[in-house]
Each structure stands twice: as structure tokens, then as C-alpha cells.
Amino acid sequence: MQLSSDIRSLSITNLEKILLRENFEKYRATQIFDWLTKENIHSFEQMKNLPKELIHFLNSRFKINNVVIQLIKKSRDGTVKFLLSLPDNNVIEAVLIPTEKRITACVSSQVGCSLDCDFCATSKIKRMRNLDFYEIFDQLMILNFESLKLFGRPISNIVFMGMGEPLLNYKNVLKSIEMICSKKGIGISKKKITVSTSGMSKIIKILADKNVKFNLAVSLHSAIEKTRNEIMPFSKDFPLSDLVDSLNYWYQKTKSKITIEYLVWEAINDNISHVNSLVNFCKRVPSKVNLIEFNDIGNLKFKSAKNRWIQKYIEILELNKISVTVRRSRGEDINAACGQLANKL
């Protein structure tokens, strides 16, 4: 085993085997993992209940590669953005969004992004790699600590809506959720977690089969295939018919309604044809709609639709008994709003 191996990449069972082989007590593995998950530990020397011999052994075989805050930026609306440095010097962003009733943590799952959505700044950053589960866990523990410090309250909600496509790193995302929801993490309910995807149909079905308990959101933005393919080119490999099928499978397995995330742009989807197509899509899938304010990323192709079209969407959706809300932009002045995360500080 190389010195560079992060100890958190081991399961507790594997660590127990290694310790027993080196003549250390089995229970020491539990002590080590308690330190790694409950405390802000950066070295084995900080694990006060371990004997010196064990600390020496751990230092000879493992590292603790922590995620570290590089920069914090605060918005005038209270939103706080974090530039986080990874052990390999790659950087990601995460955001705390406070309201009167909740503190939402928006976290990243990839360095850069695998997709090519024209309206998203993150898609302009080449995907360097997936985040390991313990790097995602570190993000959340850092944000929870900062939430307590800044707002006097812990994180109440988590959204996987930061950098990257979570479902293209779903194994690490699932493992990080298990850790963060455990008593050794924050202990947050999985019902308070939303994983957002741009529509990875096959993986949606895989997650449904795993009977996951978190919420699913889908970035749709158009229920007309041609338009969706133009603004989200990757979607040519993920037809809307397949997406509908996978979302119905998700609901069948989990009984959890899907949130449809939808941006409305001038001269792109601000017309009755698009409104009616969204209504028809929602009638085929147990869902609710979240209309999102568009945040400028410097692409002149995309401009927020006039407010009358937002109201028209709301009116027609409600007329068809489809639940709809409008998500107001937060943190736009510090490039922390939806679609703006691109390590731009």
C-alpha cells in the first residue's frame, strides 16, 4: 500500500484487518473512523486516544487528504460561496444559502463538468475527475461547521446542484450521503437531500432499484426534443421518451415525486408551444415544477424571458393542477447562483 493512500478510502472492515495483521486491537479502527468523521482532523497526532505506536504506523502507511477552504465570499443577500482546494490542488465551489427557516448547502460532485449545457458556466470547465466520497463528505462537514459559525444553525438541507453531474459520479455521491446522514456525520434526514441530474436515464433507474430515500430533481428546460438538444447537446443521447420512462420507474419504486427544474428564456422557450409541452410532460410524470431565475453567464444567446411569460407558465401549469413554484436567484453578485459556479471569484 502506497504512502499516498487516504485512510478514508478504506472500509472500516478492511482497516480492522490491517490493524489486526499489525498486532493492533480491532476496536482501534472504530476510534480512528470516529475521529475522521466527527472531528476536523488533519493529522493522526490529533487522535488523542491512540497509542504512539499506532500513530507511527498510520503515518507510515496513510495520509489524511483534507479538503481545505481557500477563499470565502459573501453576497449582499447572505449567501456564502466557498472556493475549496482538493488534495491534488484542483478546486471546486460550494455554497451556503440561508433563509429564515433553513440553511441549504449546495455541493459539487465533480471537478468541472462532464456535460455541455450552453447556459451553464460550469460546463465550460473541462471535467478533470470525479470527487471521492470522502471529498464530498468533507465539503459538507466544512459547510456545516461554517453554518454553525456564521448563522448559529447547522445545515438543514443539502442539494447536489454544484459543479458536475452527480449521476455520473453516483457511487461516490451515494456513499457520501450515507456518511453525512449517519450519526457520525451530520445526522440529517435523506428526505432533506435533493440530487439534481440533467437526465441520465439509465442511472435514474439504477438509483430507483437501490431504493434511495433522497429527492430527485431533473434539469429539463424544454420538453421539446429539438430545443432541448440545442441548449443541452448531450441530451441527443438521452431522448425525452427514455427520460419519461426512467422517471416513471423512479416514482414506481420510490413513491417520490420528481422536481422539474425549468429556466425560461426569451426567444427560446417563451411561447405557448413550450408551455403546453411542459404541461404534457408533467402529466406523464408524477412531478412538480420549479421555475428558476436565469443568471447571466455572459452568453448573449440566453436572456431571461419577460415576466409575463413566467406568469403564463404559472397560470397554465396551475390550471392543469400541476404544482409550480418560482426559485428566486441567490448570490448572483458573487457568481454563486444557479449555473454560475465556474471558479470565478
CA angle 120, 123, 128 (to 5 degrees): 150
DSSP notation for 241-292: HHHHHHHHHHHHHH--PEEEEEE-BTTTT-SHHHHHHHHHHHHHS-EEEEEE
Amino acid residing at 293: E
CA atoms of 75 and 101, how far apart (whole Å): 19
pTM over 0.85: yes
Q: What is the CA radius of gyration of the chain?
A: 22
> What is the distance between the alpha carbons of residues 281 and 221, in angstroms, rounded to a whole number?
11
Distance from C-alpha of 311 to C-alpha of 321, rounded to nearest angstrom: 15
Cα–Cα distance, 158 to 141 (Å, whole number): 12
Is 93 assigned a catalytic role? Answer: yes
Return the SS3 of 212. Answer: coil
**CA separation, residue 29 to residues 36, 50, 64 (Å):** 11, 10, 15
**pLDDT given for residue 330 in this prediction:** 63
CA gap 97, 288 in Å, rounded: 22
Q: Reduced to 3 states, what is the DSSP secondary structure of residue 97?
A: strand
The residues, ordered by sequence, that sit 6+ positions from 6 with a Cβ below 8 Å of its Cβ are 62, 63, 64, 65, 87, 132, 134
pLDDT tens figures, 305-324: 999 999 999 999 999 999 99
Q: Is the pLDDT of residue 296 over 90?
A: no
Q: Which of 16, 93, 135, 165 is catalytic?
A: 93
Task: Indicate the pLDDT class of residue 1, thresholds 50, 70 and 90.
Answer: very low
Rank 43-52, 118-127, 325-334 by mean pLDDT and report only the highest.
43-52
Helix axes 240-254, 272-284, angle to 10 degrees: 40
Q: Specify whether 106 is catalytic.
A: no
Instruction: Mark 144-168 as b/e (b = at least 16 C-beta within 10 Å).
Output: bebbeebeeeebbbbbbbbbbbbbb
| pLDDT surpasses 70 at 331 | no
In degrees and rounded to multiples of 5, residue 110 shows phi and psi of -140, 155
pLDDT value at position 207? 97
**Measuring CA to CA, which residue among 58, 6, 5 is closest to residue 28?**
58
pLDDT of residue 121: 72
Residue 118's pLDDT band, with cuts at 50, 70 and 90, is confident
All cell numbers assigned to 140: 459538507
For each of the domains in the chain, give its residue range(s) and CATH number, in order of start: 7-61 (1.10.150.530), 68-334 (3.20.20.70)
How far is Cα of residue 185 from the mean position of the Cα atoms in its chain? Answer: 17
C-alpha angle with apex 189: 187 to 195, nearest 5 degrees? Answer: 115
**Beta-bridge partner residues of 262:** 291
Output the nine-digit C-alpha cell for 254.
Answer: 420510490
Task: Check residue 117 and give left, alpha or beta (phi > 0: left; psi -120 to 50: alpha).
Answer: beta
Name the residue among 124, 117, 338, 121 with its Cα closest to residue 231. Answer: 117
Q: How far apart are CA 204 and CA 224, in angstroms?
A: 21
The catalytically annotated residue of 113, 181, 282, 338 is: 338
pLDDT bucket at 284, cuts 50 / 70 / 90: very high
Given the C-alpha cell 472556493, which residue does it identify? 83
